[in-house]
A and B are shown apart, each in its own frame.
Chain A
Amino acid sequence: MHLPCNPLLLAIAAPLAVALAIALGLPKRWSVRLAYAGFAAPLLLALDVWWHFNAAPKADGYAYLARYSTGLDGLGIGLVLGVNGIALPLFVLAGIVGFAAGLYALQSAAERLKLYLMLLLVMQAGLMGIFASVDVFFLYFFHELALIPTFIMVGIWGGRDRNYAAMTMTIYLTVGAMLSLLGLIALYVKSGAHSFDLIALRSTLAAQPLGAVAQKHLFGLLLFGFGILVSLWPLHSWAPLGYGAAPSSAAMLHAGVLKKFGLYALIQVALPLLPAGAAPWGHALAVLAGFGNVLIIGLITIAQRDLKQMVGYSSVMHMGYAFLGLACGSALGVGGVVLLMVGHGLSVSLLFLLATSVHQRTRTFAMDEMGGLGRPAPVLAAFFVAATFASIGLPGFANFWGELTIFIALWSFSPWFTVLAVSGVVISAVYGLRAAARVFFGPPSEAFVLVTAQHPPADLSWGERAPALVLLAALLFIGLWPRSIARPLDGALPTSAAVAAAAPAADAAVRL
């Protein structure tokens, strides 16, 4: 496909343009029609970029590199777009999840649908922008562009406790964003590159690396700033709360894609620019992620009675694997994190979508008041079971590869943490299967019998099936053919991240 302009720019501009058109007062019928195009364009462009990526000409590892002046050149800020092997899987993820969330929103009967669609489209543009930006300023800018609509959507369309949830979410995420912004500005100042361009920053810092102490402190600032955004324990409480209250499409986009911004920025910005800064934090990070996210949050997830909270907590738990992958500091660990981000993004957004569909049929998120939903809604049950098994790392789905590579990489870092992380495999089976059983199997609860009498539940409609199918197909495709994202990724891993590829070696392995 030959496009008149850069596909990355188009992927950002298309949803923005549609949002603008809706804002300018397009009638509702046309707004809906145009919104389909607005959600589909980024996906098609992302798939096109993916398809051509291996053959595309690259500069510094980036394909489709383009620079646009913004009038801020004095500050070293320019809109620099491009995707490398790390950005590509996430760019595609953003396209897929954005499309699915858009489709789901379009079939929902949300009040003030035009505003809802508009905000989602802005969010979608921001998400595409994050993973297409090579400029740190715009990386951050696009994150904020996607984040603000999230707050608004929680505040307007949220479920119960929406004000408290929105407040919590806003405080946490603002603090996280401020900390990381502080870190990024400090990095910009300290580097002396007078540029936010990652490529320039990289070459400057490769020639004149910062001192070890400065690297350590800067990395710490970025780690905890971004860590809050990714719900690093104990700074995670915004996540289950916020997702519990958020409208489904917003939860899908935030948990599925936007949350990955923190990890992505750590991998694309912090690790390559501060190669000596990560190692001192490795152990502390592993302790927080291993004991906090995986073990403690895993157990907390078992205790959940609310379906949406359960999905929210499980997502926090899986982020623990991602942090563990970062903690080991090897290229394999980082690669595993990217694989896991893609798998988790797809599965968690599918779970949020299905949780909402369950809610529409049971009129509640309380799992005690469900049961036996599999009989009236077998297709919904099948999707939910597939999504659950995907999220607990069943092979054949994308998540498995991320978990496996992280576990393998983790052994070189510390066998004990590997044991801890692998124990999560059992924990997640417990809460995942328990939830599926409580919602869909066994006899219906008394409460659900009453609901059924008034509102006989129907199976998944085609409007709900279409976005679910998109997500499930992506999960299976990557699960069965991981090379499709691992090949571009393999070429882009930050080997400079100190530790060599975790090639097996008899001597290095055992530090029990």
Chain B
Amino acid sequence: MAPSHLAFLVLAVPAASAGFIALFLRRRGGPASALSVLAAVAVAAGAGWLALHGPRFEASREWLRLAGLTVSFGFNFDDLAALMLAIVGLVGLCVHVFSLGYMRDDEARARYFGGLSIFMFSMIGVVLADNLFMMFIFWELVGFSSWLLINHWYERPAAAEAAKKAFIVNRVGDFGFLLGIILCYHLRGTVNLSDLAAQASSGTAPYSTAIPLLLFCGAIGKSAQLPLQVWLPDAMEGPSPVSALIHAATMVAAGIYMLCRIEVLMVNPALTVIMWVGTATALYAALCAIGQRDIKKVLAYSTLSQLGYMVAAFGMGTYFQPQADGSYHTASGVSAAMFHLTTHACFKALLFLGAGSVIYGCHHEQDIFRMGGLAGRMKLTFATFTIGVAAIIGFPFLAGFFSKDAILALAFASNRAVFAVLALTAILTAFYMVRLWKIVFFGATRSEAAARAHEGGGVLTGPLVVLAALSLVAGWRRLYPAAFAGILANVPEAEGRAHGIVLGVSLAVLLIGAGASWAFYAASGTDELERRAPGLFRGLAALQQCFDRFYAWYVAKVQQRAAMALNFLDVIGLSGLVVRGTAGLAGLAGLGLRALHVGRINAYVYWFLAGVAVLWLFAAGIL
């Protein structure tokens, strides 16, 4: 089988699974979940083979041709796509298996697993797409599957609201994304990724800055960067495995992946904007995470913050580090971002599934202050969650340590201000993650639900163990197969004195953040920060809510009022005056229209038929 056919199968299998479930297995949760998991196994196997052993290829077919416009359906399978495909396949499989247990008692299991399959289909489409039109198409479908899965418990108003918000906010980003694609098509004459790369760099061409910035709008929406980050914390209304797969590991990373795909279009001013947006998001979200009570909201803000890290890394661009022997090492933002994306996918999926395991164990309790003492009751979950926490806060030799260091090294070399902000963010990350870890797992149990907490069985813990193992090793780039060398060879590494500084800083921030948090927080039922520094706590809460408040104000006071006013004008002004006025005129003029005015519709028919008859007679020469 040609690799392009296998890639097509990897794309088509989940689509077929979703279609079959929708048509035939709507009410049969068991077979539906089995089918969906089988599809995920097939995808993981196919993706693994393609990524590790398959050749890199491009293949394309015409999808639509109209008046000179051609939209093609094609694959561009390079090392970047291979890495992303492997992540999607692997994390996807873990989440599918975990869902078997987590959603065991859900009566709409079939819809849930159908939704997961649609998501896999859409996401793989984004990964493989060889042109921006096709990427946009699957990008929108990813948004749809996200809507579907957030909306899973649609009877909860909060879930329905969150799903709607996620889709609409994403569409705001896509507004810019689509304009960027259209601008790119008209200016560069193509939207094919390889063709764009083959074109001479056009840093001086008109609108060369507008194209990447407009395309970046798409990433702002999908990867929840400032100022469109508001949808992601709300999206936690979806089931936890969905949060792990879509709103942590893969879909929200699609924005970063897309940026890496269009790196050739980047110019320095655009990169600077992207870098600062990412940096600001990293810091802002970390500040927001500190005051959260909901275990998933903490993780959601942490995801935002880590995505900000990746975006900032991408925005720092490529940097050539001089080596001792006079040669240069290419340190690329793309590699740093993708490396962190990879490790983050492992440990954040682990953390979300761990949170799911905790929530499942505590009978759907999500407030961390009503948990406590789970370390003894859920040993495996505790152990794996601990690995996840250690990985994200950059504990030495775990996944996050290496990838975060790569980003810090790049920042140290290219922009010290960004370096300082990212280092501060790292302190905060350690601070809020240790807070979460301590409050959930230590101390006394603080609710009846937590007292009855228990592990959920092998389908829940198995994926945790796999992801924990990955979180232990994913930072060691030497362990990666050569297949991903195209991306991972250029991960930034600090040299010499810079190496010492970066390493020192990253260890220092870890110790400061984690130590302060461990010392400050008590594993009790109250938030120490709220108790001891209420002003600061309220300030953080206000900071967290300010965007939502502004948007709520805009929607309620601006958009809705404008809509109501226009509606009023439309009903009163146009329909009322114009129609009644016309009717009045017609009445004055008398004739046939008067019949209509008094409401006898059928008269129109007779008038028309009479007219036709007269015309006919006239034409036939009888009259």
Chain A bound to chain B: yes
Tell me, rounded to whole Å, the shortest Cβ–Cβ distance linking B596 to chain A.
Answer: 5
B552 is an interface residue with CB less than 8 A from chain A: no
Tell me, rounded to whole Å, the shortest Cβ–Cβ distance linking A208 to chain B.
Answer: 25
A154: B residues at CB distance < 8 A:
601
A483: B residues at CB distance < 8 A:
62-65
- Given A422-B175, A490-B65, A430 contacting B168 (CB threshold 8 A): yes
A335 is an interface residue with CB less than 8 A from chain B: yes
Q: Chain B residue with minimal CB distance to A481? A: B63
Chain A interface: which of B96-104, B459-467, B577-585?
B577-585
Tell whether, in the assembled complex, residue A437 and residue B171 are in contact, meaning their CB atoms are under 8 Å apart: no
B563: A residues at CB distance < 8 A:
299-300, 302-303
Complex: how many Å from CA A156 to CA B578? 25
A502: B residues at CB distance < 8 A:
67-69
Tell whether, in the assembled complex, residue A408 and residue B182 are in contact, meaning their CB atoms are under 8 Å apart: yes
Instruction: Mark contacts of A297-315 with chain B using CB atoms, 8 A cut-off: 1 yes-contact digit, 0 otherwise.
Output: 1011011100000000000
A357 is an interface residue with CB less than 8 A from chain B: no
Tell me, rounded to whole Å, the shortest Cβ–Cβ distance linking B47 to chain A.
Answer: 22
Tell me, rounded to whole Å, the shortest Cβ–Cβ distance linking B198 to chain A.
Answer: 16
Chain B interface: which of A42-50, A103-111, A187-195, A399-407?
A399-407
Choose from A155, A236, A241, A433 the contact partner of B602 (Cβ within 8 Å).
Answer: A155
Tell whether, in the assembled complex, residue A441 and residue B66 are in contact, meaning their CB atoms are under 8 Å apart: no
Interface size on A, residues (CB 8 A): 92
B151 is an interface residue with CB less than 8 A from chain A: yes
Tell whether, in the assembled complex, residue A166 and residue B599 are in contact, meaning their CB atoms are under 8 Å apart: yes
A299: B residues at CB distance < 8 A:
559, 562-563, 566-567
Choose from B67, B157, B597 the contact partner of A332 (Cβ within 8 Å).
Answer: B67
Complex: how many Å from CA A103 to CA B536? 65
A186 is an interface residue with CB less than 8 A from chain B: no
Give residues of chain A (133-162) contacting chain B, Cβ–Cβ below 8 Å: 141, 144, 148, 151-152, 154-155
Tell whether, in the assembled complex, residue A486 and residue B64 are in contact, meaning their CB atoms are under 8 Å apart: yes
B570 is an interface residue with CB less than 8 A from chain A: yes
Tell me, rounded to whole Å, the shortest Cβ–Cβ distance linking A150 to chain B.
Answer: 10
Give residues of chain B (144-194) contacting chain A, Cβ–Cβ below 8 Å: 144, 147, 151, 154-157, 159-161, 163-164, 167-168, 171-172, 174-175, 178-179, 182-183, 185-190
Tell me, rounded to whole Å, the shortest Cβ–Cβ distance linking A421 to chain B.
Answer: 10
Complex: how many Å from CA A434 to CA B563? 14
- Given A234-B574, A296-B566, A303 contacting B560 (CB threshold 8 A): yes
Tell whether, in the assembled complex, residue A503 and residue B68 are in contact, meaning their CB atoms are under 8 Å apart: yes
Q: Chain A residue with minimal CB distance to B186? A: A509
Choose from B155, B578, B586 the contact partner of A372 (Cβ within 8 Å).
Answer: B155
A493 is an interface residue with CB less than 8 A from chain B: yes
Tell whether, in the assembled complex, residue B570 and residue A433 are in contact, meaning their CB atoms are under 8 Å apart: no
B64: A residues at CB distance < 8 A:
401, 405, 482-483, 486
Instruction: Mark contacts of A399-433 with chain B using CB atoms, 8 A cut-off: 1 yes-contact digit, 0 otherwise.
Output: 01100110111011001001100110110011001
Give residues of chain A (366-396) contacting chain B, Cβ–Cβ below 8 Å: 372, 374-375, 378-379, 382, 389, 394-396
A77 is an interface residue with CB less than 8 A from chain B: yes
Tell me, rounded to whole Å, the shortest Cβ–Cβ distance linking B94 to chain A.
Answer: 27
Choose from B174, B186, B578, B619 the contact partner of A72 (Cβ within 8 Å).
Answer: B619
- Given A74-B619, A304-B567, A504-B185, A237 contacting B155 (CB threshold 8 A): no
Tell me, rounded to whole Å, the shortest Cβ–Cβ distance linking A11 to chain B.
Answer: 22
Tell whether, in the assembled complex, residue A171 and residue B583 are in contact, meaning their CB atoms are under 8 Å apart: yes
B564 is an interface residue with CB less than 8 A from chain A: yes
Chain B residues proximal to chain A, CB less than 8 Å: 22, 26, 62-69, 71, 133, 136-138, 140-141, 144, 147, 151, 154-157, 159-161, 163-164, 167-168, 171-172, 174-175, 178-179, 182-183, 185-190, 205-207, 559-560, 562-564, 566-567, 570, 574-575, 578-579, 582-583, 586, 593, 596-597, 599, 601-602, 604-605, 608, 612, 616, 619-621
What are 25 contact pairs spanning A and B, CB under 8 A? A72-B619, A148-B605, A154-B601, A155-B602, A167-B596, A168-B579, A170-B596, A175-B582, A299-B566, A303-B566, A395-B136, A408-B69, A408-B185, A411-B182, A412-B186, A429-B168, A433-B147, A433-B164, A437-B163, A483-B65, A493-B67, A502-B68, A504-B185, A504-B189, A509-B187
Taking A151-B605, A374-B154 as known contacts, 12 extra A-B pairs with beta carbons closer than 8 A to each other, sorted by chain A number, are: A77-B619, A155-B601, A168-B575, A171-B593, A303-B564, A395-B138, A411-B186, A418-B182, A442-B157, A502-B69, A503-B68, A506-B189
